[in-house]
């Protein structure tokens, strides 16, 4: 019996319960997976009170991806590097935290040296993307509202030159754009986009399409949705929580179809 949940705030919009529940049904594993509203301030107490209980795993979303690293001793090397963790799971009764966001970006992004790449934002998801690009490309432009997170992005990708730009920097020349800011944060800049020649990975999935995703597709660019990213990172969580190996391609198809059905 698996007992797991997604934690964060806000959380009511989350598709994670729908994804995980369907996956465990396909695997024939008895499980419960719920959504729990937990703020950054509430998380340390919640984890302390529940870490010895009957929980098997937690998926973490905003704003918990950084605070979890201070609450769990078993932090993976990649979670330390990107200063972000989105998955709490047990190994022999001990809690571990890692980033399946990082693993998902590794699967979804096919990049080569010399590509022009931009990341919009510099939070936990952005750092997971940067970490996945580390050692694969020479430089990444990061569009920021404040330069105080540049150092954290450089730590996440120590072998990549991080160039900080203003949020309204033009996007037309990029082969790959990864948009990681919260709902509405980038909408005011969308009208500045007049050409789309590459791939946009829009990390948001609700509401869909976002203004940026709609504009990019209208201009002829390719778009990977936040729903695809959500499913991809969930595949690794499902494997960790259940202890079961499975065909990722088959499960990916089933879960993407499931969330597309509304």
Q: Say whether both 94 and 108 belong to one domain.
A: no
Q: Say whether both 78 and 135 belong to one domain.
A: no
Q: How far apart are CA 93 and CA 95, in angstroms?
A: 7
CATH number for the domain spanning 40: value is 3.40.50.10860
Q: How far apart are CA 130 and CA 153, in angstroms?
A: 7
Tokens of 181: 């800011």
Range of the domain at 82: 2-98+227-260
Residue 127: per-residue pLDDT = 98
CA 203 from chain centre, in angstroms, equals 7
Q: Say whether both 118 and 198 belong to one domain.
A: yes
Tokens of 45: 């107490």
Q: Say whether both 124 and 220 belong to one domain.
A: yes
CATH number for the domain spanning 134: value is 3.40.50.720
Q: Say whether both 192 and 243 belong to one domain.
A: no
Q: Say whether both 74 and 129 belong to one domain.
A: no
Q: Say whether both 41 and 73 belong to one domain.
A: yes
| Positive/negative CA dihedral, 102, 103, 104, 106 | positive
Q: Say whether both 126 and 203 belong to one domain.
A: yes
Q: Say whether both 216 and 245 belong to one domain.
A: no
Q: Say whether both 217 and 127 belong to one domain.
A: yes
Q: Say whether both 119 and 48 belong to one domain.
A: no
3-state secondary structure the chain: CEEEEEEECCCCCCCHHHHHHHHHHHHCCCEEEEEEECCCCCHHHHHHHHCCCCCCEEEECCCCCCCHHHHCCEECHHHHHHCCCCEEEEECCEEEEECHHHHHHHHHCCCCCCCCEEEECCCHHHHHHHHHHCCCCCEEEEEECCHHHHHHHHHHCCCCEEEEEECCCCCCCCCEEEECCCCCCCHHHHHHCCCCCCEEEECCCCCCCCHHHHHHHHCCCEEECHHHHHHHHHHHHHHHHHCCCCCHHHHHHHHHHHHHCC
Q: What is the mean pLDDT of each run of 10 residues along the chain (262 residues)?
A: 97 96 98 98 97 94 96 97 98 96 97 96 97 97 91 97 97 97 96 95 96 98 98 98 97 97 70
Residue 78: per-residue pLDDT = 98
Number of structural domains (the chain) is 2
The phi and psi torsions of 234 (rounded to 5 degrees) equal -65, -30
Q: Say whether both 117 and 81 belong to one domain.
A: no
Tokens of 138: 């020479």
Q: How far apart are CA 83 and CA 29, in angstroms?
A: 32
Report the chain's C-alpha Rg in angstroms.
Answer: 18
């Amino acid at each position: 019996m698996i007992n797991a949940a997604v934690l964060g705030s806000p959380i009511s919009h989350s598709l994670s319960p729908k994804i995980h529940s369907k996956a465990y049904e396909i695997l024939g594993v008895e499980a419960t997976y719920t959504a729990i509203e937990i703020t950054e301030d509430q998380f340390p107490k919640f984890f302390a009170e529940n870490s010895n209980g009957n929980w098997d795993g937690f998926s973490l979303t905003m704003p918990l991806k950084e605070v979890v690293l201070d609450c769990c001793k078993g932090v993976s090397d990649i979670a330390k590097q990107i200063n972000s963790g989105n998955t709490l799971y047990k190994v022999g009764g001990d809690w571990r935290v890692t980033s399946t966001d990082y693993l998902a970006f590794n699967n979804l992004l096919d990049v080569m040296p010399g590509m022009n790449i931009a990341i919009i934002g510099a939070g936990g998801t952005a750092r997971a993307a940067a970490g996945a690009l580390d050692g694969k490309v020479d430089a990444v432009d990061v569009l920021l509202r404040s330069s105080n997170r540049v150092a954290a992005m450089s730590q996440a990708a120590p072998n990549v030159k991080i160039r900080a730009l203003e949020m309204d920097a033009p996007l037309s020349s990029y082969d790959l754009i990864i948009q990681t800011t919260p709902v509405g944060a980038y909408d005011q800049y969308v009208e500045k986009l007049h050409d789309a020649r590459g791939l946009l990975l829009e990390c948001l999935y609700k509401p869909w399409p976002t203004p940026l995703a709609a504009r990019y597709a209208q201009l002829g660019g390719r778009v990977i949705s936040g729903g695809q990213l959500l499913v991809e990172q969930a595949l690794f969580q499902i494997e960790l929580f259940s202890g079961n190996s499975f065909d990722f391609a088959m499960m990916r198809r089933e879960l993407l179809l499931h969330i597309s059905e509304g």
